[in-house]
Amino acid sequence: MMKQGNLMYIQAKNTPKNISIKTSTRNGGFSTAPYDSLNMGYFTGDDVTTVIKNYYLYENITNTHKIVTLNQVHGNDIIEVNHNNAAEVLFSKADGLFTDEYNLPLGVITADCLPVMIAGEKCISSLHCGWRSLNGGIIDNAFKLFQKHNDKVIYAYIGAGICNKCYEVKDDLINQLVEKYKPAECLTKKDDEHYLLDMKKLATNALMFNGLHIDNIEVSSHSSCCNKELYSYRLENGKTGRMVTTIVKNK
């Protein structure tokens, strides 16, 4: 049953006028613990029928129908999708989607990783950004697709994800981070082997590396690991649900 009085989604505030971006919370769905209750992840171990019911409920409440999502694999591949091939693309192994069509919601599934939503003058893209995908250049690849379509990126949204107070990493990980995104700006040293990594800052730097001005980047203040109304893979030891963040271009 739906929980009363709790938000089912949060929304980006500064999107271009024809762009809508929403992120589900964990409130209001049908899943039972540990996935309670609005689990939007098909590959979590939750009952698939229940996840389908969650989508049906959420899509009707948010008026965001036929969301296209992927089987995300922490890579840097982005698939071009349209209304004709959406069913074929659904659940493909990749970490980004791109379209130039109206009324086609692109979805990213997260529970600590960042959803990065990008809008151009004509096209949109949704990216699943853990550190591997970011480091592998998924944002660079998205900008190349906008260029391929003769489009200019005008806005990006970095959604709810793990915050810089909760994401502790070891030096073996930070030694792999590419220098072009200025990882030194994103790290706070705890001891000789452990650091706190600011993923939202790292994603911001990757967007700016590709030429997007800081004033055109909106960063969500919501932290998946600090907000009990969101799912956190790290906080819940890997056994939890997922949020979905969607971007759609409206006519």
Beta pairing class for 187-189 and 194-197:
antiparallel
**In terms of Cα–Cα distance, which of 75, 182, 189 is closest to 132?**
75
Beta pairing class for 124-129 and 153-158:
unpaired
Domains of the chain: 9-164+203-249 (3.60.140.10)
What's residue 86's pLDDT? 98
**In terms of Cα–Cα distance, which of 56, 24, 78 is closest to 230?**
24
Residue whose pair of structure tokens reads 């599934």 in the numeric block: 109
pLDDT tens across the length of the chain (251 residues): 234 347 999 999 999 999 999 999 999 999 999 999 999 999 999 999 999 999 999 999 999 999 999 999 999 999 999 999 999 999 999 999 999 999 999 999 999 999 999 999 999 999 999 999 999 999 999 999 999 999 999 999 999 999 999 999 999 999 999 999 999 999 999 998 999 999 999 999 999 999 999 999 999 999 999 999 999 999 999 999 999 999 999 99
Residue type for position 171: D
Q: How far is 156 from 117, CA to CA, in rounded Å? A: 6
Beta pairing class for 9-11 and 19-24:
antiparallel
What's residue 37's pLDDT? 97
What is the DSSP code (8-state) at residue 161? B
φ, ψ of residue 29 to 5 degrees: the values are: -105, -160
What's residue 246's pLDDT? 98
Beta pairing class for 78-80 and 96-99:
parallel
Q: How far is 242 from 107, CA to CA, in rounded Å? A: 12
φ, ψ of residue 27 to 5 degrees: the values are: -95, 140
